[in-house]
Amino acid sequence: MTPLIECTDVSKKFGDFTALSRLNLTVPPGVVYGYLGPNGAGKSTTIRMLMGLSRPTSGRVRVLGQDPTDPGVRRRIGYLPGELRLDERLTIGQTLTSWGRLRGLTDTAYRDELVRRFGVDPDRQVRGLSTGNRRKVGLVGAFMARPELLILDEPTNGLDPLMQQVFLATVEEARADGQSVLLSSHILSEVERVADLVAVLQGGRLAASGPTRELRREAAQRFHITFAEGENVPLAALTALEGASAVERRRPESQEVSLAWTGSPDALLRFLAGHRIATLTAPEPDLEEAFLEYYQQDAPAGRSPRPLSPTRDGSQ
């Protein structure tokens, strides 16, 4: 089956600065693909090339089997840019109608359903809309024509938690309908619920790619442990546990310890059971931290990308 997106050895330079370096990425039909990476990693640069808004310095980009600078290709994609520019003179309804016209949208039932779901008011003027509300208008526009491919740049930026859930449910619905979605994010937890496949960018290079569940397994989990008052803080013993790294007190002399843990937390929990614990929390893994660690561990001699596993989609 022809991939919906295929980047082959794609590099992008801005003057002397290399924003993307030899990127290989394949998005097969019918999947949700998470494009992850810290700020400045090169996600938007990639997405702009996928949308034909800029050209690679070298390498080849194919979207829906074609050169994405062909305007016919762009019309077939549901696109949410990182920075959405709207015509301030229009209402939300007029905005959606004009986008629908561009796409030749005739069946407006799904658009209306999305308007209801995302809670946007078609009569409201675009001028004065908050960032979150603008994002919601952009999302309705991207999904409304049920395109075979959606490309969404940081779609949940500015959305409240409830709307994030609505968004994720809409992505799942699109996949069930056979559509593919590429979405960028710097938040792992946001993507992991919906993405079948992920690619992680670091400084313009692919640090890892593969099925989401494998990426999750590889990422170190951080634990914050507060030992009960009077309890000895067993820093050395914690450090000695296989799976533990970066074991440190959160403040000098405090009872709070923070550590990174790789693999199943079984052994950690067994160890902690022998101590009096006041609190134990496990914040979402910080993507940048987890992957910097992973990256350094796996590529000590250089910066060659390595898939988490033989990648299902052939990208790496």
Ligand X SMILES: Nc1ncnc2c1ncn2[C@@H]1O[C@H](COP(=O)(O)OP(=O)(O)OP(=O)(O)O)[C@@H](O)[C@H]1O
Q: Which of residues 29-68 bind ligand X (CB under 6 A)?
A: 37, 39-45
Which stretch in 11-19, 116-124, 190-198, 231-239 sits in contact with ligand X by CB under 6 A? 11-19
Nearer Cβ to ligand X, position 20 or 238?
20
Nearer Cβ to ligand X, position 186 or 222?
186
Could you list the beta-strand ranges (E) of 42-145.
Answer: 58-63, 77-80
Shortest distance in whole angstroms from residue 157 CB to ligand X: 9
Q: What is the DSSP-derived secondary structure letter of residue 242?
A: T
Contact 288, 39 (CB under 8 A): no
Instruction: Determine which residue in the list 14, 165, 240, 245 makes contact with ligand X, applying CB under 6 A.
Output: 14
Nearer Cβ to ligand X, position 117 or 205?
205
Instruction: Give the integer Cα–Cα distance in Å for 217 and 295.
Output: 14
Pairing between β-strand 205-211 and β-strand 197-202 as defined by DSSP bridges: antiparallel
Residues contacting ligand X: total by CB under 6 A: 13
Nearer Cβ to ligand X, position 19 or 90?
19
Q: Is 19 in the site for ligand X (CB under 6 A)?
A: yes
Instruction: Give the integer Cα–Cα distance in Å for 255 and 316.
Output: 43
Q: Is 81 in the site for ligand X (CB under 6 A)?
A: no
Shortest distance in whole angstroms from residue 82 CB to ligand X: 6
CA contacts within 13 A on the Cβ side of 63: 29
Q: Which of residues 171-230 bind ligand X (CB under 6 A)?
A: 186
Sort 241 into a burial class: Cβ within 10 Å, 0-12 / 13-18 / 19+: middle
Catalog residues that contact ligand X under the rule CB under 6 A: 14, 17, 19, 37, 39-45, 82, 186
